[in-house]
Amino acid sequence: MAQAVQSCVHCGFCLSVCPTYAELGQEMDSPRGRIVLMKHVLEGKLTWEAAQPHIDRCLGCLACEPSCPSGVPYHTLISPFRALAASRFNRPPADKLRRWLSGQTIPYPSRFRLAIQAAGVGRAMRPLVPHALQSMLDLAPACVPAAQTWPSVTPARGERRARVALLTGCAQQVLDPDINTATIEVLARNGVEVVIPARQGCCGGLAWHTGDWDAARNFARRNLDAFPADVDAIVTNAAGCGSTMHEYHIILRGTPDEARAEAFRKRVVDVTVFLTRVGLREKPPGPGSPQRIAYQDACHLAQAQNVRREPRDLLRAIPGVQLLELPDPHICCGSAGSYNLDQPAIAHSLGEKKAKAVLATGAEILATGNIGCLTQLRSRFARLGSTIPVRHTIQILRDAYHPVPPQNSKG
């Protein structure tokens, strides 16, 4: 951590790309400013309490990393610092309760489903709900899709070209399980056998990004044990999950599992990257009619994993698709794991700006690669009165394999 702090030369290139600096206009709410705060805290020149509000307001979107000429690995600073702060900073009881509830529900699909159902009761009793918990009520969907299950092994169609293990996620299983169904279908259709490890669990991202190092390590170890070695890749379809799994060597640094985590993370790959590598053996016939699709870069896909080209190439491979780009694609939508629970005002502002930017393109569909982004933007569109569908890239590709014939006009 010290080496990363010292590598910052305070040039200010990060200021123009930082969402919280753009929102708040304060040096301390920029990457450069936060690095100074962390340095002063670690040197004993500043209290943890003084720095923590600004550290909490960081989205962890990592837009600062590609813009940094010194190559400061900001991701190796923010989450470890939050983990160190967890035992040194005493949060208000309501904040502790909200973080505890999030940590005890979201990573566990059955609990999370029950929590969303309970949110309906909470909304009816909103005046009695503590203010710190009301952001949870605001973001909980009114209903969730029916639960889906997947076979432990889905064979490849035709000649097998590869064999992968799929992380099914936790929140995604509840909020949009069809993303996993679409992932399995598209992979199998293109000659990839898909294994669903039975003992897998949450990637640990929620715990890691909120400073719960012990929980993050437990989730990481569980997945190290669960995923088999005899696969060509460990495939993810949620940007936040993939990014976290790429950081298992940081989460488990200094433990006996560090070397195993280092080997594990090198096998993790986003589904769009894997499909691009093996190539689409079966080209989709198209959506049935031309479609204008806007693509939104999920931060932990574009910035954290440097995956930008592959989702776009897959969408362009669908006949009849016109791909539309958004202005300022590096600016976060405001989801950022549990950020929209912990910092609802900033998240609301960022989400509304992103949603309006999408609508300005005239797109018929929004594509993205992370369940947090999908949930955040669906909520923002609903508040703006828009019915534009928000879909995962892999869902759009799957749907293109089942085109709906255009209806003949009458008259």
pLDDT confidence band for 89 (50 / 70 / 90) = confident
Rg from Cα positions in the chain: 21
Please give the Cα distance from 12 to 118 (Å, whole number). Answer: 45
**Residue among 41, 82, 36 nearest 59 (CA):** 82
Query: Looking at domain 283-400, does it have CATH number 3.30.70.890?
Result: no
Which sequence spans correspond to the domains of the chain? 2-86, 283-400
Helix (H) or strand (E) holding 349: helix 344-360
3-state percent breakdown (helix, strand, coil) of the chain, nearest 5: 50, 10, 40
Q: Which of 87-96, 140-149, 299-308, 398-407 has the lowest mean pLDDT?
A: 398-407
pLDDT in tens, 222-242: 999 999 999 999 999 999 999
Measured CA distances, 134 to 99, 126, 210, 342, 410 (Å): 13, 8, 19, 10, 50
**Residue among 255, 267, 297 nearest 66 (CA):** 297
Amino acid found at 229: A
Q: For 316-327, what is the mean pLDDT?
A: 95
Compute the Cα dihedral for 236, 242, 247, 248 and give only its sign: negative
DSSP string over 83-132: HHHHTT----HHHHHHHHHHHHHTTSHHHHHHHHHHHHHHHHTGGGS-GG
Strand, helix or coil for residue 384: coil
User: Which residue's structure tokens are 């020149």?
Assistant: 45
- Mean pLDDT in the chain? 91
**Residue among 355, 62, 394 nearest 238 (CA):** 394
Please give the Cα distance from 330 to 62 (Å, whole number). Answer: 9
* Structure token pair of residue 397: 């590709």
Strand, helix or coil for residue 366: strand
Count CB-CB contacts under 10 A for residue 24.
15
pLDDT confidence band for 374 (50 / 70 / 90) = very high
Total length of the chain? 411
pLDDT value for 4: 65
Measured CA distances, 217 to 25, 251, 256, 258 (Å): 35, 6, 12, 11
Q: What is the CATH code of the structural domain delimited by 2-86?
A: 1.10.1060.10
pLDDT value for 237: 97
Please give the Cα distance from 408 to 411 (Å, whole number). Answer: 10
Q: What percent of the chain has pLDDT over 90?
A: 76
* Structure token pair of residue 355: 């949603």
**Residue among 76, 70, 75, 64 nearest 9 (CA):** 70
pLDDT confidence band for 8 (50 / 70 / 90) = confident
Q: Is residue 6 packed enough to be buried (19+ CB in 10 Å), middle (13-18) or exposed (0-12)?
A: exposed
